[in-house]
Amino acid sequence: MKYKELIASMTLEEKASLMSGKDFWQSQDIERLGIPSMFLADGPHGIRKQAVAADKLGLNAGVPATCFPTAATVANSWNPELGEKVGEYLGEEAITQKVNVLLGPGVNMKRNPLCGRNFEYFSEDPYLAGKMAASYIRGIQSQGISACVKHFAVNNQEQRRMSIDAIVDERTLREIYLTAFEIAVKEGKTKSIMSSYNKLNGTYTNESLHLMRDILRGEWGYQGTVITDWGGSNDRVAGLLAGNELEMPTTGGETDRDIVLAVRGGELPEEVLDECVDRLLDLIFTTEAVYRRPHIDFNVEHHHRVSQKVAEESIVLLKNEDGILPLKFGKKVAVIGEFAQHARYQGAGSSIVNPTILDHTMDCFEESGIISIGYEQGFERYGKKNPKKIEKACALAAKADVILLYIGLDEVTEADGLDRQNMRIPDNQIDLLDALYRVNPNIVAILSCGSAVEMPWIGKVKGLLHGYLGGQAGARAILRVLSGDVNPSGKLAETYPLHYEDTPSAPYFPGNEVTAEYRESIYIGYRYFDTAQVDVLFPFGYGLSYTTFEYSDIRVNRDGVTFRLANSGSTAGMEVAQLYVGCKSREIFRPAKELKGFAKVFINAGESKTVTIPFDDKTFRYFNVKTDSWEVEAAEYRIMIGASSADIRLEDTLFVEGTGAPLPYDKDKLPSYYSGNVRQVGAVEFEQLIGRPLPVADWDRSRPLGYNDTIEQCQYAKGAIARLAYHGIVFAHWFLRKIGKRSAANLIMMSIYHLPFRGIARMTGGAVNMPMVDGLLMMANGRFFKGLRHFLKQRRLKRRAERA
């Protein structure tokens, strides 16, 4: 232990106190021993440190900070160096705001397009997500603070996220859902990790000895700190035994007392507590740059320009019929769409940033060189239909050479705590597009959203530019691509299916009341579409340029692959060359191809470069459930270089010696997995894959409500008051949406509807403790007066103890 002497000087109570927050955003300090508190702040794409009420959770406006493009956007750059630059600037601003731990980046997989938090995550591919995350971490931690990779692990839906049990086979867990975290730990060397809310195969993730000790600490050698998601602690002692050091936010000392009692009762060995304290102290003292450095304001304008550069390199050109882009000099454009006037530039919820500057399209035209003949709103932002706005837009469109149509998803559709209901953009925007097409077919759509959407309307646009969520300078970045000042080089970090129903996880998402079954196994995203040969709208890795690239002269050896890449067009540009590997053996089920490397290369017009993509320890491995370890199958492997997962330009083969491991599966019992057609996997076959019977998926209505049951499940409560409360919440949500207060309606779903009863204690900063929750449960379970007396009694006892 690094801090053995300091720990020896602590009382048991002091050690326990360090394991929980001081308030909602700070860790506990011990003044007599010179141990300061740390400040933790949201910030995957910008610092969110609340300007007021910093001791409360809330969603108050943050101190102004640069709002960089979200992770889903920057992943489209396929440029880890750019990610590291973003991290450096995030770290610099964190230092300015005295933030020790920046809560990001998020590396959960995009298992399903409807996950409401996909805008915060990089990719459907763990290799790309891991490489981008590691670059962010290196940048953030270069400034002397800590990144905090989240959410560990298998947190791929927002619905019931604090109670859902993710049922995943071990191989899928390792290859798909843990690989990005592994890269973040081993290559990024993150100092802290945030555990997720959910259960994994029956155990809360922060209490899972297999996840936290066997894999994270054991296999990966992680020495850093694990922090709960806010309110994510279930059994505090079990969390410490697993190695989850810091519980956030504060519980008003309640779980401190649980720790002390557990040590004195022999349930928690004090040496285990000492190890946890030691790791937390290391995080505190290695982020001391926050305290040492004098306050220096960051250069707001410079950071804004960096944000613009990042957005420019992350924009994806999806369609360019008749070469409508870049816009020809002198073309008159009509600008239509609410998002042109008021940019859609970030997601909603815990990561929302208060930008230092905010560019809007209509304010940036003069410097772009594009000739605008006017602007019309065209549609209501939150979906309400307005024929008059469409009429005005059509009148303007009739006078233009080209229409720039700004469409996408609104802020309350993509949000922390909620999943999307469908993959469509609002009907009122499609009505507008249909009307414009009848007037003037020269339409360039600029799409703003943080996740995949269906596009049955794509035949009515000649150009399609996807800006994702481009941060505070995204509007200007888009104009620079439209004008041709910037040659687009972004490529999709996720697949765009033709229809949501084509998604392999669609039949199993978001799961039932108790469990979410990952029956599709390793086949997510392009791994499924390419293997099952399902047509898609846009494949993984796809993106157009204003120039063309030619691939040639592939050479493969045991160290990697080398090839020539030439810019055969007339414009300098950047190309993302992608390495995919496919095993030709059929003894173990595998995707047709998997991303194993990539390189982003700048090439001037008419020039060519030699590109080398090396193999690494992940190129040929698979996880063998019989040996419980990573193995290599002896086989011929297809080595593919492509411009996307569906556009393979070069191919060779390589025989790789294996590790001689026994075959892990009985092929005859897993026909869906060996074929790749996993959209209708039966329960018996899935049980064969996971090696155990499936747990009950629906809530048992015959039993009383408990700590881990949610407010939603009060609909089954024996107590009439609980059922009435449930219906009151449902009505309030419906009514708020009806009157247009969608943000308030979302807040009800985020903070109340899916909150487990224990969360009432864990998220109120000690205002409500677990004995008081016992009283609430008694009332919910039909013993109203007994429960009310118990609640009031425990509240009196709590207040008396606080006064004492």
**Which residue out of 229, 258, 359, 502 is catalytically annotated?**
229
Task: Kindly state the average pLDDT of the residues 298-307.
Answer: 96
What confidence tier does 386 reach under pLDDT thresholds 50, 70, 90? very high
pLDDT at 51: 63
| Residue 748 reports pLDDT greater than 90 | no
Whether 553 is catalytic is no
- The residue count of the chain comes to 804
> What residue ranges of the chain are covered by domains with CATH 2.60.40.10?
547-662
| Residue 59 reports pLDDT greater than 70 | no
What confidence tier does 765 reach under pLDDT thresholds 50, 70, 90? confident
Task: Kindly state the average pLDDT of the residues 180-187.
Answer: 98
Amino acid symbol at 745: A
| Residue 88 reports pLDDT greater than 60 | yes
Look at the block and give the residue holding tokens 């998002």.
339
> What residue ranges of the chain are covered by domains with CATH 3.40.50.1700?
305-516
What confidence tier does 739 reach under pLDDT thresholds 50, 70, 90? confident
Which of 75, 73, 129, 135 has its CA nearest to residue 524? 129
Cα separation, 448 vs 345, whole angstroms: 7
Asked whether 106 and 74 are in contact (CB, 8 A), the reply is no
Which of 218, 267, 260, 261 has its CA nearest to residue 238? 267
Q: What share of the chain in percent tops pLDDT 90?
A: 89
pLDDT at 738: 85
What confidence tier does 745 reach under pLDDT thresholds 50, 70, 90? confident
* Strand-by-strand arrangement of the 192-195 sheet: 40-42, 101-103, 146-152, 192-195, 225-228
What confidence tier does 60 reach under pLDDT thresholds 50, 70, 90? low
Task: Kindly state the average pLDDT of the residues 285-291.
Answer: 85
User: What is the pTM (predicted TM-score) of this model?
Assistant: 0.96
Asked whether 44 and 87 are in contact (CB, 8 A), the reply is no
Q: Two tokens at 750? A: 């985020």
pLDDT at 578: 98
Give the model confidence (pLDDT) of 203-219 as tens digits.
Answer: 999 999 999 999 999 99
Average pLDDT of the chain to the nearest whole number: 95
pLDDT at 52: 52
pLDDT at 178: 98
Give the model confidence (pLDDT) of 543-586 as tens digits.
Answer: 999 999 999 999 999 999 999 999 999 999 999 999 999 999 99
Assign a CATH topology to domain 305-516.
Rossmann fold (3.40.50)
Question: How do strand 608-614 and strand 560-567 relate by DSSP bridges?
Answer: antiparallel
What confidence tier does 350 reach under pLDDT thresholds 50, 70, 90? confident
| Residue 758 reports pLDDT greater than 60 | yes
pLDDT at 452: 97
Give the model confidence (pLDDT) of 391-433 as tens digits.
Answer: 999 999 999 999 999 999 998 888 888 899 999 999 999 999 9
Extract the runs of DSSP E, i.e. beta strands, from 584-634: 594-603, 608-614, 621-624, 629-632
Q: Quick one: three-class SS letters along 257-272?
A: HHHHHHHHCCCCCHHH
Give the model confidence (pLDDT) of 138-165 as tens digits.
Answer: 999 999 999 999 999 999 999 999 999 9
Cα separation, 570 vs 603, whole angstroms: 11
User: In terms of CATH architecture, what is 547-662?
Assistant: Sandwich (2.60)
Amino acid symbol at 501: E
The C-alpha angle 59, 181, 95, rounded to 5 degrees, equals 50
- With a CB cutoff of 8 Å and minimum separation 6, the contacts of 423 are 113, 114, 452, 453, 454, 497, 499, 500
| Residue 605 reports pLDDT greater than 60 | yes
| Residue 349 reports pLDDT greater than 90 | no
